[in-house]
Amino acid sequence: MLKKNKDDRYLKNYIFGSMRDPAEGKYLESVNPATGEVYSYVPDSDEQDVELAVKAAKMAFPAWSVTSIEKRSRILNRIADMIEQNLELLAYYESEDNGKPLLTARTVDIPRAAANFRFFASAIQQFSSESHRMEDAINYTLREPLGVVGCISPWNLPLYLFSWKIAPALAAGNCVIAKPSEVTPKTAYYLSLICKEAGLPDGVLNIVHGLGHKVGAVITAHPDVKAISFTGSTATGRQIAQVAAPMFKKLSLEMGGKNPNIIFADCNYQKALNTTIRSSFSNQGQICLCGSRIFIEKPIYEKFKTELAARTYQLKVGDPLNEDTNVGALVSQSHMEKVLHYIDLAVEDGGEILTGGKRVTLKGRCKDGYFVEPTVIEGLSVDSRCNMEEIFGPVVTLIPFEKEEEVIAYANATEYGLAATVWTENLSRAQRVADQLHSGIVWINCWMKRDLRTPFGGVKNSGVGREGGWNALHFFTEPKNVCIEF
Ligand code: NAD
């Protein structure tokens, strides 16, 4: 079992199996967003640390790439076991680092991180490649690991999204240089300790902490890093593509969203209402899949709006460690300011705040935390900034509609296309609307229902490529066709 130890305050990089201080000995402050206090320090690494990590990964690759699938799978399963055994500690750190309710970390983030390792431990054992028979020859296609790959992840679901990349990369036989968000580094640090104890060979996974422009950018530009799997904002994804594409690296980019929820009058009303509360405010609205534009068909607009606002008002904003907290802290002061700025902008643009709209000041240990009321706004035009740009906080807008074609046009009007939710009991309409939405994922009468085998990702400025299931294993391998003439 992992224990809190004195090193906790100063996190370390994980390179060639050892816990290392950054080369220059510099650290960044980590702030607990629920209290506003600095509570630990994260390595402010630079290109020297990345260089060392790449060297370690290159040294480890020849052995790891030919390690039997059974052995790789056993190690990944051991990592999953250890994440589960340490669920309480990891959930506590995830909540402390990110501000999310402890309950969310305990029931969603950490179990899902374990599931990611377990899923790919099993998937790699089922992974197969093709063969194509000709009259006088046979082709068989090998799927070989790429070598050293880079995995860069954001702060909103820290260990969950970090492991969603690392697990398939390792399962497929690659060695990894991984960079968690500098804002939420703690569970990645604990993952290092777990990997050591689980018997992952030295150098197979290297975790370098630090800033995006100092560590992420160096990983992206490194000639020995063959692929970049990135999750984060569209702006950063664009920067990564500008560097990596001319180097012909494989790229998987999971980026921002501005997801529509389309609610038709013939929906299962209670289910739609309950789920819309979740899809709006889970993790303080900081999930790339949250629906932030809620389109409601006119016959039920007034009723739905009134009940949604009333239910939102009842959500408890509070200390993330309290079991009855529904909405925790936003991840940082700057992010809270960004969210509040968008709320001001909504008012300037003629929006009416139905509930919420302000910073919350709590008492006691959370008196300086970054809390914002869950907010529902109506009266904004479809093309207002708040309906076009990603806010990524506990803020949703309501827009009435009359016709199916009209709402499809509204839904498709942004530069994003990650996920959409449609509520209707009319199966033909559900299928028709799903067909026309410009979106990588469409949920009908549900939200965040995830089968790890399905393709995950977005279209337009939300994404390039897909994660999940075979997609991830295809991304982290290169096909080689061998043709034998008889
Ligand atoms: P971000 O783009 O600021 O940072 C993401 C990661 O990239 C961090 O580790 C950061 O240090 C690193 N980075 C920053 N600049 C870099 C550079 N120049 N080169 C390489 N790496 C760099 O994003 P964020 O604020 O951490 O996360 C929030 C964003 O993530 C939102 O836009 C959200 O929609 C998106 N997101 C998308 C998905 C998805 O699956 N599509 C999932 C979760 C979050």
pTM of the model: 0.98
For residue 231, the CA-to-ligand 1 centroid distance in Å is 5
- Domain boundaries, position 187: 6-255+462-485
Atom of ligand 1 nearest to the CA of 243: 19
Atom of ligand 1 nearest to the CA of 154: 26
What is the pLDDT, as a whole number, of residue 3? 73
What is the pLDDT, as a whole number, of residue 248? 98
Each residue's pLDDT expressed in tens, for the chain with a length of 486 residues: 777 765 579 999 999 999 999 999 999 999 999 999 999 999 999 999 999 999 999 999 999 999 999 999 999 999 999 999 999 999 999 999 999 999 999 999 999 999 999 999 999 999 999 999 999 999 999 999 999 999 999 999 999 999 999 999 999 999 999 999 999 999 999 999 999 999 999 999 999 999 999 999 999 999 999 999 999 999 999 999 999 999 999 999 999 999 999 999 999 999 999 999 999 999 999 999 999 999 999 999 999 999 999 999 999 999 999 999 999 999 999 999 999 999 999 999 999 999 999 999 999 999 999 999 999 999 999 999 999 999 999 999 999 999 999 999 999 999 999 999 999 999 999 999 999 999 999 999 999 999 999 999 999 999 999 999 999 999 999 999 999 999
User: CB under 8 Å to 136, separation ≥6 — which residues?
Assistant: 485, 486
Contact assessment for residue 447 and residue 289, using Cβ atoms and an 8 Å cutoff: yes
For residue 154, the CA-to-ligand 1 centroid distance in Å is 4
What is the pLDDT, as a whole number, of residue 251? 98
Residue from 310, 289, 321 nearest 449 by CA: 289
Question: Ligand 1 pocket: which of 46, 156, 208 to mutate (most atoms <8 Å of CB)?
Answer: 156
Do 186 and 315 share a domain, yes or no?
no
The dihedrals phi and psi of 219, each to the nearest 5 degrees, come to -60, -45
| b/e sequence 459-470, b meaning 16+ C-beta within 10 Å | ebbbbbbbbbbe
* C-alpha distances in Å from residue 33, one per residue of 157, 210, 319, 364, 482: 15, 18, 10, 14, 54
Atom of ligand 1 nearest to the CA of 237: 2
| Catalytic site includes residue 254 | yes
Do 125 and 244 share a domain, yes or no?
yes
Do 209 and 265 share a domain, yes or no?
no
For residue 479, the CA-to-ligand 1 centroid distance in Å is 29
How does DSSP assign 197-215, residue by residue? HTTPPTTSEEE--S-IIII
Q: Please report whether residue 457 resides in a domain.
A: no
For residue 22, the CA-to-ligand 1 centroid distance in Å is 22
Do 74 and 62 share a domain, yes or no?
yes
Q: How far apart are CA 352 and CA 349, in angstroms?
A: 9
The alpha carbon of residue 146 and the mean position of all alpha carbons in its chain are separated, in whole angstroms, by: 23
Residue 45: CA atoms inside 13 Å, Cβ hemisphere, count? 35
Residue nearest atom 43 in ligand 1 by C-alpha distance: 288
Q: Please report whether residue 388 resides in a domain.
A: yes
For residue 70, the CA-to-ligand 1 centroid distance in Å is 33
Q: How far apart are CA 106 and CA 267, in angstroms?
A: 32
Q: Please report whether residue 54 resides in a domain.
A: yes
Q: How far apart are CA 245 and CA 377, in angstroms?
A: 40
Q: Please report whether residue 151 resides in a domain.
A: yes
Two tokens, residue 269: 């009303």
| Catalytic site includes residue 94 | no
* C-alpha distances in Å from residue 89, one per residue of 82, 100, 116, 342, 471: 11, 14, 18, 35, 32
Catalytic residue among 288, 290, 366, 386: 288
Q: How far apart are CA 345 and CA 385, in angstroms?
A: 8
Question: Ligand 1 pocket: which of 164, 233, 240 to mutate (most atoms <8 Å of CB)?
Answer: 233
CA torsion sign for 210, 216, 221, 227 is positive
Do 138 and 287 share a domain, yes or no?
no
Do 190 and 54 share a domain, yes or no?
yes
CATH number reported for the structural domain that contains residue 325 in this entry: 3.40.309.10
Do 104 and 248 share a domain, yes or no?
yes
Angle between helices 69-85 and 110-126 (to 10 degrees): 170
Residue in the structure block whose two tokens are 């008492």: 363
Atom of ligand 1 nearest to the CA of 236: 2
Do 137 and 155 share a domain, yes or no?
yes
Q: Name the domain count of the chain.
A: 2
Q: How far apart are CA 479 and CA 472, in angstroms?
A: 13
For 2-89, list the strands marked E by DSSP: 13-15, 18-20, 27-32, 37-43
Contact assessment for residue 186 and residue 30, using Cβ atoms and an 8 Å cutoff: yes
Edge-to-edge strands, sheet with 13-15: 18-20, 13-15, 205-207, 175-179, 148-152, 225-231, 250-254, 463-464
- How many CB atoms neighbour CB 163 within 10 A? 32
Q: How far apart are CA 466 and CA 416, in angstroms?
A: 15
Question: Ligand 1 pocket: which of 47, 181, 332 to mutate (most atoms <8 Å of CB)?
Answer: 181
For residue 256, the CA-to-ligand 1 centroid distance in Å is 8
Contact assessment for residue 11 and residue 41, using Cβ atoms and an 8 Å cutoff: yes
| Residues at CB less than 6 angstroms from ligand 1 | 152-156, 161, 179, 181-182, 212-213, 216-217, 220, 231-233, 236, 239-240, 254-257, 288, 390, 392, 418, 458, 462-463
Residue from 308, 297, 310, 306 nearest 399 by CA: 297
Contact assessment for residue 374 and residue 278, using Cβ atoms and an 8 Å cutoff: no
Residue nearest atom 19 in ligand 1 by C-alpha distance: 217
| Identity of residue 482 | V
Question: Ligand 1 pocket: which of 98, 116, 152 to mutate (most atoms <8 Å of CB)?
Answer: 152
DSSP state of 461: G
Do 290 and 200 share a domain, yes or no?
no
Do 188 and 287 share a domain, yes or no?
no
| Identity of residue 463 | G
CATH number reported for the structural domain that contains residue 211 in this entry: 3.40.605.10
* C-alpha distances in Å from residue 79, one per residue of 8, 124, 194: 20, 15, 6
Q: Please report whether residue 456 resides in a domain.
A: no
Do 401 and 269 share a domain, yes or no?
yes
Q: Please report whether residue 378 resides in a domain.
A: yes
Beta strand 27-32 with 18-20 is unpaired
Q: How far apart are CA 283 and CA 105, in angstroms?
A: 9
Atom of ligand 1 nearest to the CA of 462: 41
Catalytic residue among 94, 182, 254, 297: 254
Q: How far apart are CA 327 and CA 371, in angstroms?
A: 8
Do 380 and 446 share a domain, yes or no?
yes
CA torsion sign for 453, 451, 395, 366 is negative
